[in-house]
Amino acid sequence: MTTLVLCVDRANDIGRKTGLSTPVVGWEAVRSLVTDVGLADPEDSSVNCLLAALQTTRELRDEREDAEIAVVSGTSDSAVGADRAVARQLDDLVERYDVESAVVVIDSAEDERLVPVVESRLRVDAVDRVVVRQAHDIESTYYLLKQFLGDEELRSTILVPLGVGLLLVPLLLVQFTPAVAMAGLAALMGAVLLYKGLAIDEFLSDAPDQIRDALYSGQVSVVTYAVAAGLAIVGLFLGALAIRSPGVGGGEEVLVPSLLFAYHSVPWLALAALTASAGRLLDELIGSERVSTSYMNLPFGVVAIGLVVRGFAGFLLERQGELANLELLGRLVLTPVQRLAMFIVAGIVVSVVGVRISASVSDETLEDVVDKPRENEG
């Protein structure tokens, strides 16, 4: 079996400068080709590529391996034609020689595009990238930039937001101070990074198909999601109204308005989450006739969290004098600590009930799975 040391020239620089046709095969033929290319253009990097191929062939032969050297090039002006020309030359080499594997020697990022063509016909053991020492930094930078610009996803992810940011800088500087302009630009870049990092773009692209499938399949969650969105809007609106009430906060105070917003909006937001989770639970019941533990436990968790958050917000607001003491049945007045304890205990009780119900459902499902093989055996 022979290892083919293959020097690849996609742009056909060797053929144009020497007038020779490829493939060129054999130690002596390639060594003579080095002289011809060097005399035609001493500054051509193809000379170094040919010498590197000769060196690799000699090293393989010194290790007692059967190695053959060859040079192929693309003899066409178009990229597709050049690749096909290289493919035809490779087929000819594989047919003429008992070739088992190949070592590809290249000197540019453009020549590396031919590596998949070689791999489709031979096993490629190694790829030797020849970079002229004086131009190492330039060549490496060019190669990285070419790879970066060739990736469409990287271009849209990095170059587009960067370009938009650079366009906004002069507009922001004209309207605002440099500090505000830089802060706005940083916020924009942060939003873009979160948009890509959290895969919001994928969610938005899949959302229309999911909504259409849900509508066509008649899922209950479509209606409950719409109701949940309305309840969430109501909660946010009531929270905002509580903040805008006369005598609330003022100046640099932030804590009291935030607590008022949470106190008035949390019940509606919890109800919205409960409605959405209930719709998802009904879909699971209708579709699979059994419910997973997570779907069963979700409504109880939402209610428990809502109770705890409202309890802490009410406790702090009552201590601040923003809320009156809570009365039960019109006679029992609770202190702030008793109020907080009642909400915490209620949240824990709801959570425990949800865990117990979820566990019982899971046990029943497990028993069904165990009993089914026994019924089949019977």
pLDDT digits (tens, 9 = 90+) for 227-281: 888 888 998 888 888 877 655 554 446 778 888 888 888 889 888 888 888 887 7
- How far apart CA 42 and CA 54 sit, in angstroms, is 18
* 325 belongs to a structural domain: yes
Is 216 a residue whose pLDDT tops 60?
Answer: no
Q: Are 226 and 285 in contact (CB under 8 A)?
A: no
| Selection from 136, 114, 36, 22 nearest residue 71 by Cα | 22
Same domain, 123 and 169: no
Determine the average pLDDT of the residues in 198-206.
72
Is 361 a residue whose pLDDT tops 70?
Answer: no
Q: Are 217 and 268 in contact (CB under 8 A)?
A: no
Is 221 a residue whose pLDDT tops 80?
Answer: no
- 301-333 tens-digit pLDDT: 888 888 888 888 888 888 877 777 777 776 777
Is 378 a residue whose pLDDT tops 60?
Answer: no
Is 211 a residue whose pLDDT tops 80?
Answer: no
- How far apart CA 240 and CA 234 sit, in angstroms, is 10
Of 141, 166, 184, which closes a domain?
141
* 159 belongs to a structural domain: yes
Is 95 a residue whose pLDDT tops 80?
Answer: yes
Q: What is the mean pLDDT of the chain?
A: 79
Same domain, 213 and 348: yes
Same domain, 231 and 132: no
* 125 belongs to a structural domain: yes
Least confidently predicted of 77-91, 199-213, 335-349: 199-213
* 81 belongs to a structural domain: yes
Determine the average pLDDT of the residues in 64-73.
89
What is the chain's Cα-based Rg? Answer: 36
Residue with tokens 């087929």: 91
Same domain, 128 and 20: yes
Q: pLDDT band at 58, cuts 50/70/90?
A: very high
* 146 belongs to a structural domain: no
Is 218 a residue whose pLDDT tops 80?
Answer: no
Q: pLDDT band at 367, cuts 50/70/90?
A: very low
Partners of 68 in the β-ladder: 4
Same domain, 213 and 355: yes
For residue 48, the one-letter residue type is: N
Same domain, 362 and 221: yes
- How far apart CA 359 and CA 365 sit, in angstroms, is 10
Domain that holds residue 101: 2-141
Higher pLDDT, 235 or 366: 235
Of 164, 198, 232, which closes a domain?
198
Same domain, 247 and 120: no
Q: pLDDT band at 345, cuts 50/70/90?
A: very high
- Give the model's pLDDT for residue 217: 56
Least confidently predicted of 43-47, 208-212, 300-304: 208-212
| Selection from 209, 226, 346, 340 nearest residue 275 by Cα | 226
Tokens for 251?
A: 């100046």
* 347 belongs to a structural domain: yes
Using CB atoms within 10 A of its CB, is residue 322 exposed (0-12), middle (13-18) or buried (19+)? Answer: buried
- 180-193 tens-digit pLDDT: 878 878 887 788 77
- 97-127 tens-digit pLDDT: 888 888 999 887 788 888 888 898 888 888 8
- 283-295 tens-digit pLDDT: 777 666 555 666 6
Q: Are 26 and 33 in contact (CB under 8 A)?
A: no
Tokens for 260?
A: 């008022």
Same domain, 230 and 91: no
Determine the average pLDDT of the residues in 359-369.
55
Same domain, 267 and 184: no
- 14-31 tens-digit pLDDT: 888 888 888 889 999 999
- Give the model's pLDDT for residue 372: 47
Same domain, 108 and 17: yes
Q: Is the dihedral of CA 165, 167, 170, 174 positive or negative?
A: negative
Q: State how far the alpha carbon of 280 is from the alpha carbons of 62, 274, 366, 370, in Å.
A: 71, 10, 22, 27
- Give the model's pLDDT for residue 369: 42
Using CB atoms within 10 A of its CB, is residue 371 exposed (0-12), middle (13-18) or buried (19+)? Answer: exposed
Q: What is the pTM of this model?
A: 0.43
Q: What percent of the chain has pLDDT over 90?
A: 4
Same domain, 172 and 281: no
Same domain, 227 and 285: yes
- Give the model's pLDDT for residue 54: 92
* 248 belongs to a structural domain: yes
* 147 belongs to a structural domain: no
Number of domains forming the structure of the chain: 3
Least confidently predicted of 88-97, 150-159, 286-295, 369-378: 369-378
Least confidently predicted of 7-11, 80-84, 191-195, 370-374: 370-374
